[in-house]
Amino acid sequence: MSAQAPSARTRVRTKPDRARYERDIQYAILDEALLCHIAFAVDGQPYAIPTTYGRIGDQLYVHGASASRLLRTLAGGVPVCVTVTLLDGLVLARSARMHSMNYRSVVILGTATAVIDRAERLTALRAVIEHAVPGRWREIRPPTDRELNETAIVRVPLDEASAKVRHGPALDLQADLTQPCWAGVVPLALTAQPLIPDARLADGIRVPDEIAHYTRP
Amino acid sequence: MSAQAPSARTRVRTKPDRARYERDIQYAILDEALLCHIAFAVDGQPYAIPTTYGRIGDQLYVHGASASRLLRTLAGGVPVCVTVTLLDGLVLARSARMHSMNYRSVVILGTATAVIDRAERLTALRAVIEHAVPGRWREIRPPTDRELNETAIVRVPLDEASAKVRHGPALDLQADLTQPCWAGVVPLALTAQPLIPDARLADGIRVPDEIAHYTRP
Per-residue pLDDT reduced to its tens digit, B138-161: 999 999 999 999 899 999 999 999
CB contact under 8 A, B107 and A49: yes
Chain B residues near residue A181 by CB distance under 8 angstroms: 139-140, 205
The pLDDT of residue B163 is above 90:
yes
The stretches of chain B forming alpha helices (DSSP H) are: 23-32, 69-75, 118-132, 145-150, 209-212
The answer to whether the Cβ–Cβ distance between B187 and A206 falls below 8 Å is no
Report whether pLDDT(B20) > 90.
no
- At B168-206, the pLDDT tens digits run 999 999 999 999 999 999 999 999 999 999 999 999 999
Note the Cα A197 to chain centre separation in Å. 26
Instruction: Measure in Å the smallest separation between the Cα of B90 and chain A Cα atoms.
Output: 8
Q: How confident is the model at residue A2, as a pLDDT? A: 56
Residues in A touching B96 (Cβ below 8 Å): 125-126, 129, 137, 140-143, 147
* Whole-number Cα distances in Å, A130 to A133, B13, B139: 5, 28, 45
Q: Which segment of A95-99, B64-68, B72-76, B141-145 scores lowest on mean pLDDT?
A: B64-68
Question: What's the mean per-residue pLDDT of chain A?
Answer: 93
**pLDDT one-digit tens code per residue, A13-67:** 878 888 888 999 999 999 999 999 999 999 889 999 999 999 999 999 999 877 7
Q: Which domains does chain A have, with CATH numbers?
A: 16-172+183-192 (2.30.110.10)
pTM, two decimal places: 0.95
Counts of helices then strands in chain A (DSSP H, E): 5, 12
Of A90, A103, A198, the CB nearest to B170: A198
Residue of B nearest to A16 (CA): B68
Q: Mind listing the pLDDT tens digit for each residue in A185-216?
A: 999 999 999 999 999 999 999 999 999 999 99
DSSP state of A174: G
Put simply, the answer to whether A177 touches B200 (Cβ < 8 Å) is yes
- Nearest CB partner across the interface for A179, out of B64, B95, B140: B140
Q: How confident is the model at residue B106 (pLDDT cuts 50, 70, 90)?
A: very high
**Count of CA atoms in the C-beta half-sphere (13 A) of A2:** 3
Output DSSP code: residue B204: T
In which band, very low, low, confident or very high, does the pLDDT at B14 lie, cut at 50, 70 and 90?
confident
- Asked if B83 contacts B108 with a C-beta cutoff of 8 angstroms, the reply is yes
CB contact under 8 Å between A195 and B187, yes or no, is yes
The answer to whether B31 and B55 are in contact (CB under 8 A) is: yes
Mean pLDDT, residues B26-32 taken together:
98
pLDDT band at residue A132 using 50, 70 and 90 as cut-offs = very high
What is the Cα–Cα distance from B188 to A191, expressed in whole angstroms?
A: 5
Chain A hits for B111, Cβ within 8 Å = none
d(CA B18, CA A214): 27
- Reported as a pLDDT band with limits 50, 70 and 90, residue B2 is low
